[in-house]
Amino acid sequence: MEPANSLAFLRKNIKSFPHIQADHFESKGRGFRARKFIPSGTVVLHEDPIVSALLDDHIDRRCSNPTCWKPKTELDEKAFLRCSICRYAFYCSKHCQHSHWKAHKFGCKCAQRMAAAIQKPPTPSILMMAEIWRRSELAQESQKLVVKCPEFPLFRDLNSHWDAFSEQQRHEYIGMACSVFYFMFAPDVKSSNSNDDEKKMNDIKPLETKLDVNCVARWFARFSCNNFSIFDSELRPFGAGVFPLTAVFNHSCDPNCVLMFSNPDRPNRCYVRSSRPIAKGEELTIGYVELGCPTSIRRAELRKGYFFECECPRCSNDADELDAVWETLRCPSGNCSAVIPSTYDLDGLCPTCGTDLSEHNIDITLEKVARLRNQGDEARSSGQLLQAKTLFEKAYAALELVRHANDPSVYTLLNSLAMTCVDLQLFDEAFTYHEAELPFLDFVHSEHAPALGLQLLLHGKLACYLGHISRALHLYRRAHIILCETHGKFHPLIEELAQKIGECQAELMQNSGPAGREELLAIHS
C-alpha cells in the first residue's frame, strides 16, 4: 500500500479517538499528532491486540483466555482446567474455556500434531504468526471481512525493516517461518524416537499449501520490530501481542505518552495515556527502550532493534546528566567532587585536585567489588542469606570509594542489599538501603515514569510497616500523582493508594494531636 493510501487507511481506523490525528513526519514516516490540547493522564488511544500469547514461563500459570489471563494461585491449582486435546492451554473455569474455543480451535489440533511429531509445544511467536496467517487468508477470501476487521491490513502496513536485517537474521526468520509452516500443516503422526525434524519437514509439500514461507519470514521480521510486551500493573511482563495502531506511535527518549495495560477486566488491552500536558499539533511519542540509561546505550538499542538513529531532543542534548556520570569514577581523595571518565588513565592525576590515582589502586578495587558481588549473588541464590548480606556490604563499602552515588552499579548493589535484608526480615536495614536508592531513581527516571511511581509505593509500604507514617504519607502521595496519570484514577492500584493515604492521615491526626495536625498540614502544603 502506498504511503498516502496507508495514511488514509490509518486515519479511518482512529476516528473514534478524538485527541489524535495521523500524519507523516519527515525521516520518521507515519505517526500521531495532538488534534487539540491534551491534559495529563488522558487516554489518547486504546487497542486490543490482533494476536496475543502468554510467554513460555506463564503458559501453565495463567488462564489461556486473553480476555481473562487470571494468574494461578495455590488455591486455584486444582480448579484450573487443561485442554484435553492439545494439553497446551489452561483455563480458570469452564466458562473461560468455552468462550475461548472459537479462537483456540484453529491452533489446538495443530499444536497436538506438532507435539506428537517433534515432542515440542509451539512457541508463543509461532502461535501468533499462525493466527496472523489465518487472518490474512480470511481477509483475502472476503473483501467485506477486510472492512469489518481491518487488523491484518494494519499489520501489513507496519515496517518490517527486512533489508536492514543481516543475512543470518533473515535465515533465522525463514527457519521460524518453516516452524509456522510445520505447525499448521504437519501430518498426523504418532510420537516416535526420531529427532530428524528436517526429514519430517520434507514430508510436507509446500506447493500443496497456500503458505508462502518467505512472506511469513517477513511477518516475523515485522513482528519483532512492532510487538509489545504485555505486563501487569507492577510492570512484570507475562505476555506479548501485536497492536498495529499503537505501533504507529514514534519513539522519543523523553516521551509525552506512556503505554500501560491497566484494565484488570481486559488484561491484554493496551492504553496509551498522556504523561504530561500536550499542546495542539505536538507529536505524540512513547518510549521503545529503557529510558533510564545514557544516550549511547539508548541509541545502540534503537539501532539494533528498530534500525534508526534517535535524534530526539534528549539525545541531541549534549548536556544530558546521565551521560555525564554514567559508569564514571570519583576521586578517591574523599574531598574532591571530580567526575573521572572510566577510560581515564588510572596511573595519572585527578584532573581536578591532582591526587595521584595510582596510589589508590582503583582498578584493583573495582575487581574486588565485582568478585564480592558475584560471591554474594551465588550465596543468595543458594539460600545463604547472612553470608550474602556480608559480601554485599563489603562490596558496597568498597564501591562507595570509587563510584558516584548515581552510578548504576551502586544502585544495583543497594537493591541487592535491600532485598536480602527483606528476605532476612531485617526491615529497618532494608528501609535504610531503599532510602539510599531513591536519589538514583529520581535521577534516571522522569517525574512521570510508572516505574518510579511503583518504587515509591513499595517503599511507602515498608515505611508504613515500620511506623514511619509521615515518610510513608509523603511517598504515597508522590506515587499517587504518578500512577493516577499512568494507570488511571479508577485502577485498583489507585484505590489501594487512596486508602493507604487516608489511613496515614488518620493515624497522624489521631496519634500526634496538634503536632500531628501541623505535620499533616506541612505535608499537604
What average pLDDT score do residues 456-471 get?
95
- What span, in angstroms and rounded, lies between the C-alpha atoms of 28 and 250? 7
What average pLDDT score do residues 448-463 get?
94
Q: What is the pLDDT of residue 139?
A: 60
First to last CA, the chain: 56
Closest by Cα among 485, 490, 430 to 454: 485
The one-letter amino acid code at 447 reads: E
Pairwise pLDDT comparison (4 vs 211), residue with the higher score: 211
CB of 332 closer than 8 Å to CB of 362: yes
- Helix (H) / strand (E) element for 430: namely helix 427-444
Please tell me whether residue 81 adopts helix, strand or coil conformation.
Answer: strand
- What span, in angstroms and rounded, lies between the C-alpha atoms of 66 and 129? 16
- Helix (H) / strand (E) element for 229: namely strand 227-231
Is the model's pLDDT at 502 over the cut of 90? Answer: yes
- The DSSP secondary-structure symbol of 323 reads H
Cell numbers 500434531 label which residue?
Answer: 113
CB of 52 closer than 8 Å to CB of 242: yes
Is the model's pLDDT at 201 over the cut of 60? Answer: no
The one-letter amino acid code at 139 reads: A
Q: Which of 112-121, 354-363, 426-435 bottoms out in mean pLDDT, i.e. has the lowest?
A: 112-121
Closest by Cα among 404, 407, 376 to 389: 376
**Mean model confidence pLDDT for the chain:** 85
Cell numbers 531503599 label which residue?
Answer: 434
Taking only the tens place, the pLDDT of each residue in 341-397 is: 877 888 888 888 888 888 888 889 999 999 999 999 999 999 999 999 999 999 999
In degrees and rounded to multiples of 5, residue 467 shows phi and psi of 90, 10
* CATH superfamily name and code, 333-524: Tetratricopeptide repeat domain (1.25.40.10)
Closest by Cα among 19, 449, 91, 417 to 258: 449
Beta-strand pair 237-242/339-340: unpaired
Closest by Cα among 343, 311, 313 to 326: 343
In degrees and rounded to multiples of 5, residue 253 shows phi and psi of -80, -5
- What span, in angstroms and rounded, lies between the C-alpha atoms of 129 and 155? 11
Neighbours of 295 (CB within 10 A): 19
Q: What is the pLDDT of residue 148?
A: 43
C-alpha dihedral, 101 to 105 to 109 to 111, nearest 10°: -80
CA distances from 71 to 75, 103, 343 (A): 11, 20, 47
CB of 330 closer than 8 Å to CB of 404: yes
- What span, in angstroms and rounded, lies between the C-alpha atoms of 31 and 157? 13
The model's confidence at residue 34, banded by pLDDT at 50, 70 and 90, is very high
Q: Which of 116-125, 133-142, 241-250, 291-300 bottoms out in mean pLDDT, i.e. has the lowest?
A: 133-142
The residues spanned by each domain of the chain are: 54-167+178-212, 289-326, 333-524
- What span, in angstroms and rounded, lies between the C-alpha atoms of 300 and 306? 10
Residue 345: Cβ-neighbour burial (10 angstroms; 0-12, 13-18, 19+): exposed
Q: What cell numbers appear for 134 in the block? A: 489465518
Q: What is the pLDDT of residue 319?
A: 65
What average pLDDT score do residues 293-298 get?
89
Q: What cell numbers appear for 162 in the block? A: 527486512
Say what percent of the chain tops pLDDT 70.
86
What average pLDDT score do residues 225-254 get?
92
Is the model's pLDDT at 233 over the cut of 50? Answer: yes
Cell numbers 506541612 label which residue?
Answer: 522
Q: What is the pLDDT of residue 191?
A: 42
- Helix (H) / strand (E) element for 43: namely strand 43-47
Taking only the tens place, the pLDDT of each residue in 157-194 is: 888 899 999 999 999 888 888 877 777 765 554 444 44
Q: What cell numbers appear for 135 in the block? A: 487472518
Q: What cell numbers appear for 217 in the block? A: 519470514
Say what percent of the chain tops pLDDT 90.
45
Please tell me whether residue 259 adopts helix, strand or coil conformation.
Answer: strand
Q: Which of 63-77, 391-405, 477-491 bottoms out in mean pLDDT, i.e. has the lowest?
A: 63-77
Q: What is the pLDDT of residue 413?
A: 96
Is the model's pLDDT at 434 over the cut of 90? Answer: yes
CB of 268 closer than 8 Å to CB of 226: no
Closest by Cα among 464, 390, 483, 466 to 427: 466
The model's confidence at residue 101, banded by pLDDT at 50, 70 and 90, is very high
Q: What is the pLDDT of residue 5?
A: 58
The one-letter amino acid code at 416 reads: S
